[in-house]
């Protein structure tokens, strides 16, 4: 039978191409039900992308769930064979909550799982298969890998800091947080590791030098063995070392990796070793695998082509208003030719071909969206916006402008009654909820978009959580700061995909901006 593949969607063509690749690699197809008992996901919520799960009542009254993840089902329904390697692949729909769409979406995933007798050779083969999988899509891709055992070793040795805070700083490439930490050997090594970039072939020597300073590193030298194997492969230039690629350390261990395609924002492939999850589910086997997010790959050829045409330009999202004017002055001093005052004309996009830069004027609260989605390579956003919306971006540096503080304010003489629910008015719901959750205080949040100070005066709320700059507005309305949550300033942020494909261009600019901000301070 002759089959006309012109009638297929691009995602379907990708799935068939990957299926052929996986079969050639000795993987066997695995099929499963669309739903599982909800208890499986309730016990492993941290492993899921989101803990929002679609549930329904099954036969006999059991609570069932539409499958939000494939790996958990495969482990649950497979035999535990620690002395035998099993290799399976899948094409399955999962049902996940989308933050952007604010609803559940059905998403197609294809991927592989190898479990049982998993050694360094199996891990190496899995990383190489991930690279082959992206090569099916385009020639413009990278696999970025890291090692959680090494990070965990350093985190545990840094006794003065919470592991979650350190993990977040590493994931965000937030060197400002690390440089402000205790002057310890482990923190210094972490800073060096997140500063490493380049292919495994180029980075191997530097990684060896850095890791030689870790006490007890002998047990983790498997990672160096892996890097040496990968550096001798045909994909040596396409596999990069990036210690900001992390995952949940309660479930993952050893090597983790993500795949990026030029022109597609965010990772299109994600994988790693998950022996810890196997132990949590009572299995003695080790495991490694990856998933390709085929829903992100529509029109991938067209997007890669567009990105290639734009590869020498840096797209910059600038916040409108006073902060934006300060940002433009910094960029001008860093050698980027941009207009001193965007208010001089109504143009929202400005391009300077000499410095190969393009600027967008956007609302301050929208900068993170433009950068996260890859429309802008870099941008400047307040720390308040980053804490509130938690975009998946790199937080490159503190520009030390737009300084203020996030604080709790209340009418003068206010006394909190712990027996009552505290009513909080704010436009920073996420920040308020997290702050009071840490304190163990029950609150009710009332979301307001402006004139927050009037809420407690008119009895709408007990207190407010808001940005305080001079405190003048609070004083004029008989309010006062009763608790300070965090200092706020403007941060330089970068898109993760852009950072991979425009690394030299962006790094040079970051260094020039750093020189300007150091001069100012």
Total count of residues recorded for the chain: 521
164 and 138 in one domain?
yes
pLDDT in tens, the chain (521 residues): 455 666 667 777 888 899 999 999 999 999 888 888 888 888 887 787 777 888 889 877 889 888 888 889 999 989 999 999 999 999 988 888 877 777 888 888 899 999 999 999 999 999 999 999 999 989 999 999 999 999 988 888 877 678 888 899 999 999 888 887 656 888 888 899 998 888 998 988 898 888 887 766 655 578 999 999 999 999 999 999 999 999 888 889 999 999 999 999 999 999 999 999 999 999 999 999 999 998 888 888 888 888 888 888 999 999 998 999 999 999 999 988 876 566 666 677 888 888 788 988 999 999 999 999 999 999 999 999 999 999 999 999 999 999 999 999 999 999 999 999 999 999 999 999 999 999 999 999 999 998 899 999 999 999 999 999 988 989 999 999 999 999 999 999 999 999 999 999 999 999 999 999 887 66
Domain total of the chain: 3
398 and 409 in one domain?
no
Inter-residue contact 173 to 194 (CB < 8 Å) = yes
23 and 147 in one domain?
yes
3-state secondary structure of 298: coil
3-state secondary structure of 503: helix
Provide the domain limits for residue 441.
404-487
Q: Which H/E stretch holds residue 110?
A: strand 103-116
448 and 316 in one domain?
no
82 and 30 in one domain?
yes
Q: Which residues pair with 86 in a beta bridge?
A: 115
3-state secondary structure of 269: strand
Q: Which residues pair with 398 in a beta bridge?
A: 491
Which CATH number belongs to the domain containing residue 79 in this structure?
Answer: 3.30.930.10
Q: Which H/E stretch holds residue 411?
A: strand 404-411
Provide the whole-model pTM. Answer: 0.91
Neighbours of 239 (CB within 10 A): 24
Q: Shortest CA distance to 95 belongs to which of 58, 56, 69, 62?
A: 69
Encoded tokens for 107: 């998403």
Q: Shortest CA distance to 431 belongs to which of 477, 478, 486, 476?
A: 486
483 and 361 in one domain?
no
Strands 86-98 and 28-29: parallel
Tell which of 304, 334, 358 closes a domain.
304
Tell which of 268, 287, 304 closes a domain.
304
Inter-residue contact 297 to 14 (CB < 8 Å) = yes
Tell me the DSSP string of 117-179.
S--HHHHHHHHHHHHHHHHTT-SSEEEEEEEHHHHHHHHHH-TTS-HHHHHHHHHTT-HHHHH
Encoded tokens for 483: 């608790």
496 and 471 in one domain?
no
C-alpha span between 228 and 258 (Å, rounded): 19
482 and 498 in one domain?
no
132 and 74 in one domain?
yes
Which CATH number belongs to the domain containing residue 314 in this structure?
Answer: 3.40.190.10
Task: Give the DSSP letter of residue 519.
Answer: H
211 and 84 in one domain?
yes
Q: Shortest CA distance to 384 belongs to which of 490, 231, 287, 312?
A: 490
Cα 30 to the center of its chain, rounded Å: 29
C-alpha span between 259 and 130 (Å, rounded): 8
Tell which of 250, 279, 304 closes a domain.
304
């Amino acid at each position: 039978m002759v089959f006309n593949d012109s009638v297929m969607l691009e995602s379907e063509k990708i799935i068939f191409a990957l299926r052929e690749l996986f079969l050639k690699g000795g993987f066997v197809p695995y099929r499963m039900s669309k739903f599982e008992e909800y208890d499986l996901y309730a016990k492993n919520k941290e492993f899921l992308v989101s803990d929002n799960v679609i549930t329904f009542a099954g036969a006999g009254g059991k609570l069932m769930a539409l499958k939000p993840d494939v790996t958990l089902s495969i482990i649950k329904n497979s035999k535990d064979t620690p002395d035998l390697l099993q290799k399976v692949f899948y094409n399955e729909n999962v049902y996940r909550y989308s933050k952007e769409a604010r609803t559940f979406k059905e998403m197609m995933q294809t991927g592989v799982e190898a479990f049982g007798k998993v050694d360094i050779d199996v891990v190496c083969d899995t990383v190489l298969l991930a690279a082959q999988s992206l090569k099916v899509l385009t020639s413009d891709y990278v696999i970025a890998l890291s090692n959680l055992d090494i990070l965990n070793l350093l985190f545990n040795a840094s006794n003065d800091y919470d592991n979650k805070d350190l993990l977040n700083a590493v994931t965000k490439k937030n060197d400002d947080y690390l440089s402000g930490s205790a002057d310890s050997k482990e923190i210094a090594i972490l800073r060096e590791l997140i500063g490493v970039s380049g292919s495994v072939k180029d980075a191997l020597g530097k990684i060896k030098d850095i890791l030689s300073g870790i006490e007890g590193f002998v047990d983790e030298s498997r990672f160096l063995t892996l890097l040496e194997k990968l550096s001798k492969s045909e994909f040596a230039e396409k596999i990069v070392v990036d210690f900001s690629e992390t995952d949940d350390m309660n479930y993952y261990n050893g090597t983790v990796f993500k795949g990026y395609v030029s022109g597609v924002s965010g990772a299109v492939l994600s994988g790693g070793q998950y022996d810890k999850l196997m132990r949590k589910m009572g299995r003695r086997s080790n495991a490694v695998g990856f998933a390709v997010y085929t829903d992100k790959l529509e029109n991938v050829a067209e997007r890669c082509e567009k990105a290639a045409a734009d590869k020498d330009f840096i797209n910059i999202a600038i916040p409108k208003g006073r902060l934006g004017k300060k940002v433009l002055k910094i960029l001008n001093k860093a050698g980027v030719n941009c207009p001193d005052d965007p208010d001089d004309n109504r143009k929202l996009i400005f391009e300077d071909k000499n410095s190969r830069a393009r600027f967008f004027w956007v609302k301050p609260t929208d900068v993170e969206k433009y950068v996260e989605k890859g429309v802008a390579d870099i941008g400047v956003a307040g720390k308040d916006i980053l804490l509130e919306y938690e975009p998946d971006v790199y937080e490159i540096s503190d520009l030390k402008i737009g300084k203020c503080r996030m604080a709790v304010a209340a009418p003068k003489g206010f006394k909190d009654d712990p027996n009552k629910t505290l009513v909080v008015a704010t436009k920073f719901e996420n920040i308020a909820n997290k702050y009071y959750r840490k304190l163990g205080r029950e609150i009710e949040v009332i979301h307001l978009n402006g004139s927050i100070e009037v809420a407690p005066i008119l009895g709408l709320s007990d207190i407010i959580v808001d940005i305080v700059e001079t405190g003048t507005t609070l004083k004029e309305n008989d309010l006062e700061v009763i608790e300070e949550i965090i200092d706020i300033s403007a941060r330089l942020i970068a898109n993760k995909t852009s950072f991979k494909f425009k690394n030299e261009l962006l790094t040079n600019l970051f260094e020039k901006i750093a020189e300007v901000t150091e001069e100012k301070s």
